[in-house]
Chain A
Amino acid sequence: MAGLLTEASAPGTTARERTRRSRLLRLVLARAAGSVAVLWGAVTVAFLLIQLMPGSTVDVLLARSSVTPRVRAEITAQYHLDDPLFIQYLSYLGRIARGDFGDSYVLRQPVWDAVGAQLPDTLALIAATLLVTAAGSVVLAVLGANRRRWVQSLFAGVESLVVALPPFWLGLLLLTVFSFTLHWFPTVGASGLGGLVLPTLALAAAPTAVVAQVLREGLLRALDEPFVTTARARGIGELALRVRHVLRHALLPATTLMGWIAGSLIGGSVIIEIVFSRQGVGRLVLSAVQDKDMPVVIAVVLLAATVFVVVNIVVDVLQWLIDPRTRGTGRPA
């Protein structure tokens, strides 16, 4: 879609161009500053929620077994679980600001090691899912944006069905057909692209269907705009009209939606990681929450919030590029 996003104006650094650049920079800086507040809020809420969970952390940590009071004291002291809450909170903030997430209570290793070991697989899954969602929804939207009612209904019907499918069920269905029966893709211990196909499809199915619907609605609305008549009058082909002119109008809401989806995929990947026995942050955080493994939970919350924030900045910039109307104030609508 690169061609779509580049400006049609003549090249060269005009004064207008410079203003545009500085506005874009201001936009990014303002968003980044706001992000710090969002991240601080995320850490604080995570910390408080964990404190609100019933039972003391040391009890939950030790719940697996009866240990001597000496071991209990050792664990309490090591994790400073006996400090006043506010002190625990401040020392957390301080350490997190320095990038030190401490050791996992349960896994007995530095949090970054635990998260870092799982992160690449989750990022690969999320990136693949976003790519498939973007490409798939554009194709579906363009194909389905047909004036004939039954075509629209057919696409909308299938998409609604896909949205309604629970991802774990879809995952198992894909596994049964393509792995257990047809042996096209491996089930377990799969690394590389082959292992990514089925999980990506299972995770991308619902977002693709939703984005395609939003996109198609935008397409259909844009097709009623006067500029379409003008373009047609100039003899443009139907596909070129849709891809080059109409799609651009429909992209705004879909981009916003994609931003939200990208942020939610870390959570959404949990069930897919379990069904497909994939390594990943989702499984890590699931067990960390059950264990009240605070350092891991906070690190993953911060990670998810960071992904969310970065994606939102990207979305803002994309909107700025897609829609000239959002550039006037330097603040996208």
Chain B
Amino acid sequence: MHSATPRTRTHRPAALAAGVTALLTTLVTACSAGGSGDGATAAGGPPRDGGTLRLAVAKEPECLDPHQSPTEAARLLSRPILDSLVHQTAKGAFEPWLAKSWTISPDGRTYTFTLRDDVAFTDGAKFDAAAVVANLNHVVAPATKSLLASSLISAYKSARAVDAHTAEVTLKQPDSGFLGALALPNLGIESPATLKGSAAALCKKIVGTGPFRTTGGLVAQKGIDYTKNPAYDWAPKSAGHTGPAHLDGIKVQIVPDNASRSGALTSGQVDAATGLDPTSTKTLAKTPGFALHKTSFPGANYSYWPNTAEGPLADVSVRKALRAGIDWSTIDQRVNFGQYPSAKGPLSTTTPGYDGSQASAYAYDPAEAARLLDAAGWTGRDAKGYRTKNGKRLRVEHLWSDPSVTNLAVQIQAAAKKLGVEFVEENVDGGTFVKRLLAGDYDIIDTSFSSPGPDVLRVLFGKENIPTPARGVSNNMARYDNPAVEQLFTQARHATDQKEQFRLYGEVQRHITDDAAVLPIYSPVSTFAARTAVQGTGFTADGSADLYSIWLAS
């Protein structure tokens, strides 16, 4: 089964990959399927205060502190507790949150934030410029051993408190992704007193300025209980409401098994569940009394990443032939029960900066594929019907990111065989995976990569992100190296205007499509299934369920 979440499983490398970029925190409008639990209007009344939401989630973070942990689970579970300096809307625009306003110096290297002066942490401490400095320094401190947050702000040089409510951040070089990084839970602002404690203590319990607080913290394999912060009065504008949360509390339970999670929801033992697989969501959407809220994760689609540097897929014609000759979209619809939208480009359509002009390049055209392969010299056929060139079979080694890809991989393998291409499916252990990833010893790796902005393209196609033994694990699995695209990346990084940034990344998407540097399959979907009385649901920009605005009609 394919999990509805991007592959942020803690330990397989490609999975890992799946977290490493600027995920912006925005409210993405939830599209609801089935049920009537779609926003406050459906319930026919104003939001009702009170009650505790019982939520079953699939995964737990190995550490709650998002400064340390790279996992999607840590983002989901820390967001109710932590606010950020800035907030990002669904369209990708930034709005004030803990920072009332900010200015960026013309050289793009100095950010000056004017902070709210009426914010307090739930442990009583005042939020001020010193707290901002302490948080940024905590993220980059080697002792924190940050597995994501510090690389999100790799351009960070230093920060200082100009006065109590003005913080100035200096970057080593301009980085148009900096605000996006700040908006993520990974750069969420924690109470400075707690940052002086041990890393282990922060893994269990964090303290912030957010709409909820936790007393008991994260209990391994069990969950976490939140109670509302009654003093909360600084929600971002696009949150839809202000003041304290409607819910008195949230009880999150870790329920790793999909069938148990789904059963717990339908039998009324929890009010909502996240991360249900396509079969369960399909059934739930049709079950009276329940609503399925979903949104495509922003970021890179679940894709096959061809090794563009070495092997048969170094030839762009062969890559284009695979793109045209396999009916990716039909396979996706069949395997995922029509629950995941088929992909037509490197980015999912919900990603800010997505360029839809190239969608037609991703159409199924077996005749064109055969023509491309003939032209590339793969004209021979061996006894098993595979194409050959100079007596060598057209053979593609697919390194699995995760054993759960089986169903999809088998169907694609069968489709490739019709085309005359042999797919060798390799499900290897984590250590071997890393070794071969670094050595470039593969033809295809599959993974998705959630991220709410087009900056993810730099992470996935930038020359400096090709994994090598010297560099370690990195995310340009296509090993793509195009000077024209490098040029665009540099320009985009320096762009201070978001429109210009999106235009540049649009051009990058066209280059990637021309070069067939990725074989996109589907957009993973973030799901939040709940009984219909659960109202005010939504998603943050990284695709996580947003818990702040939720209220219970009964």
The 6 closest A-B pairs by CB, nearest first: A55-B431, A64-B16, A54-B431, A63-B13, A180-B267, A109-B200
As a 0/1 sequence over residues 249 to 266 of chain B, the CB contacts with chain A under 8 angstroms (1 = contact) are 001011111011001101
B191: Cβ under 8 A from any A Cβ:
no
Which A residues touch B219, using CB under 8 A?
117, 279
Contact of B269 among A71, A187, A279 (CB under 8 A): A187
Which B residues touch A241, using CB under 8 A?
none
Asked if A70 meets B263 with Cβ closer than 8 Å, knowing A65-B19, A65-B151, the reply is no
Q: Are A68 and B474 in contact (CB under 8 A)?
A: no
Q: Are A277 and B16 in contact (CB under 8 A)?
A: no
In the complex, chain B residues 259-308 whose Cβ is within 8 Å of any chain A Cβ = 259-260, 263-264, 266-267, 269-270
Which B residues touch A64, using CB under 8 A?
10-11, 13, 15-16, 19, 70-71, 147-148
Q: Are A188 and B221 in contact (CB under 8 A)?
A: no
A6: Cβ under 8 A from any B Cβ:
no
Q: Are A71 and B142 in contact (CB under 8 A)?
A: yes
In the complex, chain A residues 52-84 whose Cβ is within 8 Å of any chain B Cβ = 53-56, 59-60, 62-72, 74-75
Which A residues touch B70, using CB under 8 A?
64-65
A-B contacts besides A55-B435, A74-B142, 8 pairs, CB < 8 Å? A56-B431, A67-B472, A74-B145, A117-B219, A175-B263, A180-B263, A183-B267, A189-B251
Query: Which one of A56, A189, A290 has the greatest number of beta carbons of chain B within 10 Å?
Result: A189
Assembly CA distance A66 to B16 (angstroms): 9
Q: Are B472 and A66 in contact (CB under 8 A)?
A: yes
Q: Are B147 and A65 in contact (CB under 8 A)?
A: yes
Assembly CA distance A276 to B255 (angstroms): 8
Which B residues touch A275, using CB under 8 A?
257, 259-260
Measured CB to CB, the nearest residue on chain A to B432 is A54
Assembly CA distance A188 to B143 (angstroms): 36
Assembly CA distance A259 to B482 (angstroms): 64
Q: How large is the interface on A (under 10, 10 to 19, 20 to 34, 35 or more residues)?
A: 35 or more
Asked if A277 meets B19 with Cβ closer than 8 Å, knowing A107-B62, A109-B200, A118-B220, the reply is no
Q: Are A274 and B263 in contact (CB under 8 A)?
A: no
Q: Are B150 and A68 in contact (CB under 8 A)?
A: yes
Q: Are B430 and A63 in contact (CB under 8 A)?
A: yes
Which A residues touch B204, using CB under 8 A?
109
Which B residues touch A69, using CB under 8 A?
472
Q: Are A291 and B10 in contact (CB under 8 A)?
A: yes
Q: Are A292 and B431 in contact (CB under 8 A)?
A: yes
In the complex, chain A residues 207-240 whose Cβ is within 8 Å of any chain B Cβ = none
Q: Are A60 and B431 in contact (CB under 8 A)?
A: yes
Which B residues touch A56, using CB under 8 A?
431
Asked if A179 meets B142 with Cβ closer than 8 Å, knowing A54-B429, A67-B472, the reply is no
Q: Are A68 and B151 in contact (CB under 8 A)?
A: yes
Q: Are B145 and A117 in contact (CB under 8 A)?
A: no
Assembly CA distance A187 to B263 (angstroms): 8
As a 0/1 sequence over residues 458 to 480 of chain B, the CB contacts with chain A under 8 angstroms (1 = contact) are 00000001000001111100000
Q: Are A291 and B429 in contact (CB under 8 A)?
A: no
Q: What's the nearest-Cβ distance from chain A to residue B185, in Å?
A: 15
Which B residues touch A284, using CB under 8 A?
220-221
In the complex, chain B residues 403-453 whose Cβ is within 8 Å of any chain A Cβ = 429-435, 438
Q: Are B145 and A75 in contact (CB under 8 A)?
A: yes
